[in-house]
Amino acid sequence: MEMFLYGFMQRAFQASILISLIAPILGLFLILRRQSLMADTLSHISLAGVALGLLMGVNPTWTNILVVAVIAILLEFLRQMYRTYSEISVAILMSAGMALALVLMGLNDGGATLSMTQFLFGSIVTISEQQIWMLIALTAIIGVLYFIFRKPMYILTFDEETAFTAGLPIKMMSILFNVLTGVTIAIIMPIVGALLVSAIIILPAAISLRLSKSFMGVIFLGMVIALAGMLSGLVASYELGTPPGASITLILMIIFAAATLLKFLWRQVRLGRLKRT
Amino acid sequence: MHYIEVENLAFHYKEEPVLENISFVVGPKDFVMLTGENGAAKTTLLRNILGLLKPSKGRVQLSKKNQYGEKLVVGYVSQQIASFNAGFPSTVLELVQSGRYQRGKWFKRLDQADKEHVRRSLESVGMWDMRHKKIGELSGGQKQRISIARVFATDPDLFILDEPTTGMDVHSREEFYQLLRHNCLEHGKGILMVTHDHEEIRHYANKHIELVRKEGSPWRCFSMDSCKELSKLPS
């Protein structure tokens, strides 16, 4: 319990709860839009955003948000351009982001290496009050937008052509969704690390997708799974001295394996019952 | 008034002409069947009308208003519905309810009348008992039925249907055509339907457009044979 006495741990728990509320919403839409890897691309790009901020001597969070938002828009245009092979856009921009980050770090003459390591692997010690306020604002924005636009987004993710014929502005919605995902990644990346931020966004939704039948059910169950994974991962990280992003991801992977196994066993039991009747 | 106006439409895939000289109109109370051999670009024509593709030449006009001066609501059932996102986390009821969103319910709760409409739509295709099933667990024919239920739940002014009866038995098809005819005659809906069952439907439709291969063209290009008025059975 002593961990709760530390201010940085209190902030880490606050951040975890907030991330748990938004990750399954974004994660589910990313999975259903076949954009799971987009989160990974944007996290690589966000490294370039951080490197740019450190090079310019300004707060890297702001440069990060700006760079990621611009690239998120570009991603949508590339996705439209390569409609049949939309993963090409992910491959192109992931490499470009990493290359740009490395070049910018090189230009910084190695001065930012320590900070970059924090951004790569995440750090719960460095969570600031400002980051918590940003996360609160982000959670509020995503929550309100989800509540207002959940029906149009449901149709958009079900089938873009159906959404188009229903008169929805699908291009604008896609761009806004990408930008929102980008900004989220830019804000939570310093906490969980660029290398694993996409796992934390995708995994809770991926797990609950296997367990719940309904759309709303997937999101709410995803929040519960994210909360369980984030909070227990954080405790493990504190107790074992391991990186928070990696600890959380591993616990989510264990939940994923357990859920898959339980579902398989449940199906076998049901099949057995059906055979007997 | 017309819901769809197509005038001298031509569509080319890159340089290759696929459709040429297509002109017809669909208005309220029109039940138009669109036929043609496999690969006759019937779906391409529908996609041009819906705005999913841009015509290379000519004009396609989809009316903004319905016959009562309100916003025109279009219900579309695509041909590939049987292969739709099998992993999509939705129950049958959720998906069919989403058809009501177009009826001014994007940002409002569905009321009792909406729910009643959804129930009737699901019952009309015999899927009410399966409303709590996950859509990924349905067979191809059942998926087809719920996509039809969804479009009925929308209660559109204009139905655009691309081979909607694939995988349905004769009895279900007949019930479906009767429902469409009822919507057309009693509620003034416009219907444009791609089909291969033209012998079956000719008793329900009032216009028949056939896409035929253009003679003398080096390309596999199709144009309209004619837009025939059909004699309709009494409703």
pLDDT digits (tens, 9 = 90+) for A82-124: 777 767 888 888 888 889 988 888 887 755 555 677 788 877 7
Per-residue pLDDT at B232 exceeds 60: no
Do B104 and B114 belong to one domain?
A: yes
Please give the Cα distance from B172 to B165 (Å, whole number): 8
User: Smallest Cβ distance to B50: which of A148, A157, A165?
Assistant: A165
State residue A117's pLDDT score: 76
Do B66 and B164 belong to one domain?
A: yes
In chain B, which residue ranges form alpha helices assigned H by DSSP? 42-50, 92-97, 112-124, 140-154, 170-187, 198-201
Q: What is the mean pLDDT of residues B143-166?
A: 91
Do B94 and B116 belong to one domain?
A: yes
Asked if residues B35 and B198 have their Cβ atoms less than 8 Å apart, the reply is: yes
B13 touches chain A (CB under 8 A): no
Q: What is the nearest CA distance from A81 to chain B, expressed in angstroms?
A: 15
Q: Which fold has domain A2-198?
A: ABC transporter involved in vitamin B12 uptake, BtuC (1.10.3470)
State residue B233's pLDDT score: 47
User: Smallest Cβ distance to A213: which of B91, B98, B107?
Assistant: B91
Q: Do B91 and A32 touch (CB under 8 A)?
A: no
Q: Do A155 and B50 touch (CB under 8 A)?
A: no
A157 touches chain B (CB under 8 A): yes
Q: Which helix (H) or strand (E) holds B137?
A: none
Q: What is the nearest CA distance from B134 to chain A, expressed in angstroms?
A: 6
Q: What is the nearest CA distance from B99 to chain A, expressed in angstroms?
A: 9
State residue A113's pLDDT score: 59
A154 touches chain B (CB under 8 A): yes
Of B138, B155, B172, which closes a domain? B155
Which CATH number does the domain housing residue B45 bear? 3.40.50.300
Asked if residues A45 and A102 have their Cβ atoms less than 8 Å apart, the reply is: no
pTM of the model: 0.85
Confidence of residue B84 (pLDDT cuts 50, 70, 90): low
Domain of residue B140 covers: 86-155
Residue B219 belongs to a domain: yes
Higher-scoring residue by pLDDT: A79, B84: A79
**Residue of chain A minimizing CA distance to B94:** A214
User: Smallest Cβ distance to B89: which of A166, A167, A212?
Assistant: A212
Mean pLDDT, rounded, of chain B: 87
Do B168 and B207 belong to one domain?
A: yes
Mutate to test the interface with A, among B96, B102, B110 (most CBs of A within 10 A): B102
Do B101 and B145 belong to one domain?
A: yes
Per-residue pLDDT at B120 exceeds 50: yes
Of B136, B155, B174, which closes a domain? B155
Do B177 and B217 belong to one domain?
A: yes
User: Smallest Cβ distance to B102: which of A164, A166, A218?
Assistant: A166
State residue B234's pLDDT score: 46
User: Smallest Cβ distance to A215: which of B76, B90, B105?
Assistant: B90
Do B65 and B166 belong to one domain?
A: yes
Do B19 and B119 belong to one domain?
A: no
Annotate A152-182 with three-state secondary structure. Answer: HHHHHHHCHHHHHHCCCCHHHHHHHHHHHHH
Residues 61-120 of B with CB under 8 A from A: 74, 76, 78, 84-85, 87-91, 94-95, 98, 101-102, 105-107
Confidence of residue B227 (pLDDT cuts 50, 70, 90): low
In A110-243, which residue ranges form alpha helices assigned H by DSSP? 113-121, 129-158, 160-165, 170-192, 197-211, 215-240
User: For chain A, what is the radius of gyration of the CA atoms?
Assistant: 19
State residue A196's pLDDT score: 85
Q: What is the nearest CA distance from A274 to chain B, expressed in angstroms?
A: 17
Check residue B214 and report its DSSP letter: P
Q: What is the nearest CA distance from A118 to chain B, expressed in angstroms?
A: 36
Asked if residues B12 and B56 have their Cβ atoms less than 8 Å apart, the reply is: yes
Please give the Cα distance from A203 to A222 (Å, whole number): 9
Longest CA pairwise span in chain A (Å): 73
Mutate to test the interface with B, among A80, A208, A213, A216 (most CBs of B within 10 A): A213
Do B164 and B232 belong to one domain?
A: yes
Do B219 and B165 belong to one domain?
A: yes
Q: Do A215 and B78 touch (CB under 8 A)?
A: no
Residue B80 belongs to a domain: no
Segments of chain A scoring below 70 in pLDDT: 1, 86, 110-115
User: Smallest Cβ distance to B88: which of A158, A161, A165?
Assistant: A158
User: Smallest Cβ distance to B89: which of A165, A167, A214?
Assistant: A214
Closest CA to A93 of A47, A160, A140, A57: A47
Do B29 and B143 belong to one domain?
A: no
Residue B78 belongs to a domain: no
Do B148 and B165 belong to one domain?
A: no
Residues whose CB falls within 8 Å of the CB of residue A34, separated by 6 or more in sequence, listed in order: A86
Domain count for chain B: 2
Enumerate the domain spans of chain A.
Answer: 2-198
Q: Do B98 and A159 touch (CB under 8 A)?
A: no
